[in-house]
Amino acid sequence: MKYIQSSQNPQVKQWKKLLTKKERDRSETFLIEGFHLVEEALKENQVVEVIISEKIGMPSRLDIGSASVTMVTEEIADSLSDTETPQGIYAVCRQLKTDDGVSNAKTFLLIDAVQDPGNLGTMIRTADAAGIDAVIVGRGSVDVYNSKVLRSAQGSHFHLPIIRGDLENWIQELKEKNIPVYGTALEGASTYTDIPAAESFALMVGNEGGGINKDLLMKTTANLYIPIYGKSESLNVAVATGILLYYLKK
């Protein structure tokens, strides 16, 4: 096992760069933190290397497989964390390539410009729970490999393909494959319970404040609405996603 003591070590500098979207995109990797996430990533063979603080030592119940392991000082380990109570365990993981495992997908979640990392992560976790085949994240959303998105998704990044793409193109492609695309909107929309549950569909949800871009809404098969029975103005976007996915999924 390698052991690194200097925060000036080039490998430490490279790990820290993974805290930026730019370097994650360039290297097609990302950094995860915490025992649960590392365990999920190892299970799914997505890990390039594991980084462990000498303070915690090698957890005996972790099945490392073929991943390399590096031990580092507590100071280096903490410098890779954005939480207040770092767990001392990290992994560098591979990003899935754009078209891995989606050619046969029948159910999709399309996400337009969701900006809160907790919301985006929770939506990915919810899509996973609902058995959705792929998540497509459009422009204007927070980066899917942002550390808070990863934390909120609780490992679902390793369970289903999460693809960054142009939603306009995706809507067109899905419709050509006879997969209905449902937007969510407050005006000119049908109550969601008017739509039948189905074996294949794509649900599109949008920005916390403004909803889905109007140009995209005009291209959908139909647009849905969740009735508000009380006095609140709207639902949280992750909650709305859960209600709709569990309703639509056959």
The nearest distance, CB 184 to a copy of itself, in angstroms, is: 14
| Chosen residue from 29, 46, 122, 213 binding a copy of itself by CB under 8 A | 122
The nearest distance, CB 234 to a copy of itself, in angstroms, is: 7
Alpha helices in the chain (DSSP H): 10-17, 21-27, 35-43, 74-79, 117-129, 147-153, 167-176, 214-217, 237-248
Comparing CB distances to a copy of itself, the nearer of 206 and 242 is: 242
How many residues touch a copy of itself under the rule CB under 8 A: the total is: 35
Q: Are 33 and 90 in contact (CB under 8 A)?
A: yes
How many Cα atoms occupy the beta-carbon half-sphere of 143 within 13 Å?
17
Euclidean distance between CA atoms 132 and 208, whole angstroms: 21
Euclidean distance between CA atoms 12 and 19, whole angstroms: 12
Contact status: 113 vs a copy of itself (CB under 8 A): no
Segment 143 to 162, residues that bind a copy of itself, using CB under 8 A: 152, 154-156, 159-160
Q: What end-to-end distance do the CA atoms of the chain give, in Å?
A: 48
The nearest distance, CB 230 to a copy of itself, in angstroms, is: 4
The nearest distance, CB 70 to a copy of itself, in angstroms, is: 28
- Which residues are at the interface with a copy of itself (CB under 8 A)? 118, 122, 125-132, 152, 154-156, 159-160, 226, 228-236, 238-243, 246-247, 249
